[in-house]
Structure 1
Amino acid sequence: MKHLSEKIKKHEHTKMHMDNCLKFALLGKANIATQLDDGHRLCIRRHNDEVDKNRYILSKLIDCVKFCGAFELALRGHDETEASENPGIFRGLVNFASSLDAALKEHLEGATVFRGTSKTIQNELLDCMLTVVKEYIHEEVTAADYIAIQADETSDVSVQCQLALVLRYIDRYNVIQERFFEFMPIENANAENIAQALLERMSALIPPKDKTKLIAQVYDGASVMRGATGGVQRKVMDVYENAHYVHCYAHQLNLVMQQATSKIPKVSTFFSELGGFCAFFSRSPKRTSVLDDVVGSRLPRACATRWNFHSRSVNTVYEHRDDLLKCFKTIQDSGNFDAVTAREAGGFVRMLEDDTFCFFLQLFHKIMPHVDMLFQQLQKRNIDPIFIKAAISKFADSIRNIRSSIFTVQEEIPAAKRQRTLGPAEQHRIAIEVCDTIWAQTKERFAFTGHLVSSTLLHGELFSQHAKTFPSAALNATVEAYPMLNKARLKTELSLVYENPEFEKCSGAVPLYQFFMENNLQCTFSETVNLLKILITTPMTSAESERCFSTLKRIKTFLRSTMSQERLNALAMLSMEKKIVKDMPNFNNKVIDRFATQKERRAKFLYK
């Protein structure tokens, strides 16, 4: 007891005393974290189990939407109630899938919060799928060295103008890709609106520092898109200086003729009437049999998705005009055909006897062969600036000769039963306008031919010739068209390519490019590889917008009035880029994550 005070002070500094003080202070107070730990883990486990179930169900619904989109099937039906016998393909496909999947069937029968088959969910899933694919394409575009855009405008059944946009580039696997990107609605299809829509979209895809990546622009079908001073291509080049305008060589005839007809109503009417001939016979084997018996020659069938201005149509009707008259009169007077057929045949008889129709038939019969000849000449591999200039000059002389012989054309029109809907002076004026328009538009389209000349540098068939005489003129034209290339280094590399027989075996730009990449020669032949990338990216022989045009027509057929712009874009993307949707890893999970974060949802789709 004598040393108690001293011992207490000493004990207060010991670890045991401090631990006991702590326990005494917490005596009667529960450890909440310890108590809640088991409950918290159980709650998370239940939440994640529910998320697993919801994500599985939503993945099956996404698969059903992907199936409908890939095969261009209408999602909705007229009556989507449970008792409906025709609920639509999407609902029918979901019901069929539920018969094979017990979990999906249980969900559809017992779901109260989230069922997943409503129109709203369909639209939201389509929107999320579209966003995921566009982000994938955007990543590829960002990684690409060069890009070309292809655009085509058309109108849907509600006369709403749609601009189909396609991007062409070499992807990360060194494969050339032409990706459909979207349909853009245009209120008024003039140069200003179309250029503004394209520039807005390109500014989002290509950063300002990478403006030189856009090296080509292709437009097919829209007359306002061309124009050296005020057309879309000029407005785009003002922003992207390397975006050379390249017309579609595969549809060169269509473009020139369409430009001529788009501004001249009488000529547009003529081609519309001309297309009626093959349409009349294509709808009935009975009519075709009469055509075979009387004429002995089939009319070339018009393409369902393009304006048909093939020279065969003009030539066939012109050369067999008398036989066609006899054929239509036979159908009209035989009494073996229904009233509608007889009435249409009578209309064609009056058309073939019409002075104006015969005048334009004769005029275009003279023009068509020259346009076809120019097209064939510019498809040759061995061309140079001098050859192109000579071919265009020869075409110009031919058009001028036709223009000066308009009165001669008038005199050759069959005189029988002339019905003068247009006087000679008006016919003469329109014919001159047609010739002037064709020549002006042809000259404008071939203003840039640098890509054609550049392609001759890397034709394997010409390597032996180039090894003897280096194509300096073609090299100068190439560097002038694409100033990002180093002329001196490119000349050195090409000289080595021409002398090495290994490169001669590669027929075409794509095989040659693949040879460089597979053998890791892209650093050694850097400028040649850059030139190959430019040539491969530039659409020289086909316009991918043709494919988009036909797909747009098919999609619009089954969703005419109930489809919003977002549904149109998403369904078109699922149809045209089905390979991306199929090959993209974790596509369904990416769509579900975007779907879950799009807005606050009662159903749980995100893990804790």
Structure 2
Amino acid sequence: MAAETHEPAAQPPHSIQSLLCNPFERRPLDEQLQIKESGPDQPDIAIRRPASERGQKYKRGFSRKWYRRKAWLAGCGQVKAVFCFPCLLLKTAGADTAWTVTGIRDMKHLSEKIKKHGCSRAHLVNTMELAMLGTGSIAEQLDEGHRARVRKHNEEVFKNRHILSKIVDCVICGAFELDLRLHGDADSSVRGLEGFVASLDSVLEEHLKKATVFKGTSKTVQQELLDSMLSVLKDCILDEVHDADYLAIQADETTDVSTHSQLVLLLRYIDRHHNVQERFFEFIPLQDANGDSIVTSLLERLSTLLPGGRESRLIAQAYDGAAVMRGTKGGVQRKVLEVYGNAHYVHCYAHQLDLIMQQATSHIPRIRTFFSDLGGFSEFFSGSFKRTAVLDEVVARRLPGTSTTRWNFHSCAVNTVFEHQADLLLCVQTIRDSSHFDPQTVREAGGFVRMLQDEDFCFFLALFHRIMPHVDTLFKQLQKRNIDSVIISGIIQSFTDRMQTIRDSIPSLHGQASGSVEQQPIKKRRTLGPGEHQQLATEVCYTILSDAKDRFSFTKHLISATLLQGDLFPEHHRRFPDSALDTTVEAYPMLSKAKLKTELCLIYENNEFRACSGALTLFLFFMENNLQDTFTETVSLLKILITTPMTTAESGRCFSTLNRIKTFLRNTKTQEHLNALAMLSMEKKLVRNIPDFNNRVVERFANQKDRRAKFLYK
């Protein structure tokens, strides 16, 4: 009976099913060469055939040892048979159809059939023709002139690849530490590096002086090299992600220096060497910064990262404070959760609650203006030693440095400006009235005088002076190691009560704001009335309450972490934390509750485990001592906790690729190849750890398109 020829989805081109459905001879040459390079598909085959010998009945099965004995054997799990790979491809007349159409299923006589087929003329012809495919005729290869031309060609390829490898090194160094510009024909840092490397490499030096066809210093070549590097790095990251048991994503809407809105996607996982990796993956351009656009882009990437059947591996998602991200009903996190059921929305340690304020300012123009004005104080005084000297003399207190990624700056700035408002007013008036400053400084000081006397600014300063301490307290309390569901619920409820108290006391802020500095009769823009102030302040409090409720609706991962905190082991030994275990299994149903409890009891009983300083330390101990098969559920829980970008501080975990990305964007010129530049800048260590990185980049570059210069060996 002929084998079924319906090709299932996602079958590799060299698989038996694919070749039966779409014969080799009908395929283009480049695909034929790719199939030849891939070699025979050799999967496990579940063949169990009854047999008998000397009155004894038994079953014969297929063993993978046959693949090692005969490299030309190919297998098909669907039809449960083995085939001859060269004969299936070329089908020379006289070939046995059992090896090319139906496949061999008789395991009892497989050894005899392989021996007979391997000696057949048709098999030898097919094997020879497959080996010669794409290499030219036999006569040509036997010709001495042809061999000489091949040797000369390959020598030129070797030289070109060496030169291109040196240029790759220069591009890498330029992306690592220097300003890599790819605009116009202006000399770039890469070109300067090429000159330096040429002084150390005579082959490159001679090439740069004499090359006419391919020099390697053009903008186009550098861009193509960047594309090739990005492709190689993303392939490596994808390989690591596919090997990881769990994955967490961080996706933040951010803006580069050219104000282009885009989504930055970061991946967190444990690699095959048991190291925690937080990788930058790519910038995703956004046409419309709405929920549907972001969801579509994210789900498209996630389908590549976690192909069919691996949806449960996504165990956490973290976003910034945008409403389209965090909404519990129609937000991005909810729509992702509908597809990836274990992808809990968590507050990422990299966000540190500054995003709640960004949410509050994103849609209220007056509040956005207030924080923009507030940040101006630090920038003004830090821009000049003379200004700082006046600040030290009059105020005797420095302002905090600006930061776009931490809540701390807003908190410290609000408190400092509020507490020293009168002194700051005197300071900027002194600068304005002084004859020792340049006109620009005097002009800017005048703006700060008007700002400190502005009723709106003073009102919002007093409002946030009340709000900030409670937000800081919330964050610090959630950082504690000894925490449970009751404590978390109480902390959030306490924060909610305080925000409501502030909202109820808004009318009293008017007297506090108006009496903080002496009002001067200067002409100002129209200020808001008490009713408008109260309305905006109420909206701010509501936004913060709403965001806090959404952001901390899932806190079970914090409770799960308490199961594996070494300082709590003595307490857990005296009284097992059943409620924390129940919460953990509810959050992560892939864990076996009974086995996990047994393993944890054993850990709690052993005093030596109490020296554990964190989840990562305990995980590495299990892996280094090959205990992962003994403590399977504990290791799985450790992987989940380590992969999740939790709020709880833990030694050795609180590094943030997200902060590095935002720093990179502030310092990078507008680039067409921003993804490649960011990847090279962020993932320096990954680039250095790929042993054949340059060769892989050169190979990818050489195969991008037909080139006049020779880069492919014959």
- The match for 2:629 among 523, 530, 547 is 523
The answer on 1:381 being equivalent to 2:500 is no
The residue correspondences of 1:89-238 to structure 2 (distance < 5 A) are 89-220=189-320, 222-238=322-338
Please state how far the C-alpha of 1:222 moved relative to its aligned partner: 3.7
Q: C-alpha distance in 2, partners of 1:398/1:462?
A: 31
How big is the shift at 1:112?
2.2
Aligned to 1:334: 434
Q: More relative contact order in 1 or in 2 (CA 8 Å, sep 6+)? A: 1
Change (3 A) 1:153 1:306: farther
Residue ranges of structure 1 left out of the alignment (5+ in a row): 1-31, 81-86
Which amino acid in the other structure matches residue 473 of structure 1? S
C-alpha distance in 2, partners of 1:288/1:159?
31
Query: Structure 1 pair 72/453, CA: closer, same or farther in 2 (3 Å)?
Result: farther
Aligned: 1:417 with 2:519: yes
**What displacement does 1:411 show?**
2.2
Identify the match of residue 322 of structure 1 among 422, 425, 436. 422
Q: Which moved more, 1:293-302 or 1:66-75?
A: 66-75
Measure how far apart 1:46 and its partner are: 1.2
2:230–2:676 contact (8 Å) kept in structure 1: yes
Query: Matches of 1:34 and 1:259 in 2, distance apart?
Result: 72
SS of equivalent to 2:310: helix
Residue 599 in structure 1 maps to residue 708 in structure 2: no
Offset at 1:532?
Answer: 0.1
Partner SS, residue 514 of structure 2: coil
CA contact (8 A) 1:68 1:75 kept: no
Most deviating of 218-227 and 520-529 = 218-227
Contact 2:452 2:458 survives alignment (8 Å): yes
Q: What's the counterpart of residue 371 of structure 1?
A: 471
Deviations 1:133-179 (A, max 9, x none): 10000000000000001112112343321211111000000010011
- Quote the offset at 1:89 in angstroms: 1.5
Q: Deviations over 1:547-569 (max 9, x none)?
A: 211112222xxx33xx21xx111
Out of 260, 268, 276, which is 2:376 matched to?
A: 276
In 2: Cα distance, 1:259 partner to 1:171 partner: 34
Query: What amino acid sits opposite 2:395 in the alignment?
Result: V
Structure 2 Cα separation of the partners of residues 406 and 105 of structure 1:
73
RMSD of the alignment, in Å? Answer: 1.7
Gaps of 5+ in 2: 1-137, 648-653
- Find the residue that maps to 1:247 and give its secondary structure: coil
Say if 2:168 is the partner of 1:66. no
Q: Corresponding residue for 2:156?
A: 50
1:459 deviation in Å? 0.1
Shift in alpha-carbon separation, 1:577–1:289, aligned structure 2, 3 A? same
Task: Check conservation: 2:182, 2:223, Cα contact below 8 A.
Answer: no
1:1-20 superposed Cα distances (whole Å, 9 cap, x missing partner):
xxxxxxxxxxxxxxxxxxxx
Deviation for aligned residue 1:228: 0.5
Equivalent residue number for residue 297 of structure 1? 397
Sort the Cα spacing of 1:141 and 1:250 in 2 relative to 1 into closer, same or farther, 3 A. Answer: closer
Residue 77 of structure 1 deviates from its aligned partner by 6.8
- State the shift of 1:305 in Å: 5.8
Partner AA of 2:241 in structure 1: V
Q: Which amino acid aligns with 1:497?
A: I
Q: 1:33 offset after TM fit, Å?
A: 3.8
SS of the equivalent of 1:601 reads coil
**Cα distance change on mapping 1:266 and 1:308 into 2, 3 Å:** farther
1:432 maps to 2:545 = no
Question: Is the 8 Å Cα contact of residues 213 and 709 (structure 2) preserved in structure 1?
Answer: yes
1:491 aligns with 2:591: no
Q: What is the aligned counterpart of 2:495 among 360, 376, 395?
A: 395
Amino acid of the structure 1 residue aligned with 2:687: V
Q: Which residue of 2 aligns with 1:7?
A: none
Instruction: Give the match for residue 547 of structure 2.
Output: 441
> Hey, what's the Cα distance between the residues in 1 that align with 2:328 and 2:626?
41
- Asked whether the 8 Å contact 1:148–1:214 carries over to 2, the reply is yes
Residues 148 and 538, structure 1, Cα contact 8 Å, conserved in 2: yes
CA deviation profile, 1:411-454 (whole Å, cap 9, x unmatched): 22234427660011100111111111111110111100011000
Q: Distance in 1 between matches of 2:591 and 2:448?
A: 58
CA–CA distance in 1 between the matches of 2:371 and 2:192?
Answer: 44
Distance 2:235 2:354 in 1: 34
> What CA distance in whole angstroms lies between the structure 1 residues aligned with 2:532 and 2:409?
23
**Post-superposition CA distance 1:177-230 (Å, at most 9, x none):** 011111111111111111111111111111120000100011125442111011
TM-score, scaled to structure 1: 0.90
Measured at CA, do residues 601 and 221 of structure 1 come closer, stay the same or move farther in structure 2, by a change above 3 Å? farther
Identity %: 61
- The answer as to whether partners of 1:57 and 1:104 remain within 8 angstroms in 2 is yes
Distance across 2 between alignment mates of 1:575 and 1:129:
12
